[in-house]
Structure 1
């Protein structure tokens, strides 16, 4: 079975995070509210990471594609994860975007730490 460009981008994102000293805890975590691409630990902060890939920016850059509804689903899914994994309940949390624009073989990452907040 051949991987889609989105799956390849997510694998590249995981590798990028690990190379930058981040411990990946879980991938493609699903709840009834939605999915989180990568859940990771950055020192003592749990990071919920949305990976976005755009081959072309004709319809906007990758970081511009996460609207209010998507953010809300990510936040709700993160809350579910924290409730299901009490060992992380005392950790600070943040919501990151890890974006790739252009050809995957020349990937240029943009990592937006704390890209949005839970309200």
Structure 2
């Protein structure tokens, strides 16, 4: 039974490590995306910007799609965004919108993200 529990815990830990949660403190490129969203005019209704994190849903190298969330006992989801790496366009793609809305943000984070990816630091 002890082996099974260790195997199960190692498997769960491995799966959790594969989920790319971005935060400002992480040294990877996704930290730039988190700060980009925090600096944007996204309508943060339920929480202050500094508590928002990203859960990357998709990153194909050209487009990054992410869920915005904050730590809570519930779901904590506040919306979704997508970032076009080539055109540097960040859009609010939350479900309640009829059409995605382009967001303004601090361009320094787009530059930082591009430089990070170019260095091969990965996300």
With structure 2 as the length reference, what TM-score do the two structures score? Answer: 0.29
Task: Please report the TM-score for the alignment, with normalisation by the length of structure 1.
Answer: 0.29
Instruction: Judging by fraction of residues, say which structure has more strand.
Output: 1
Larger Rg: 2
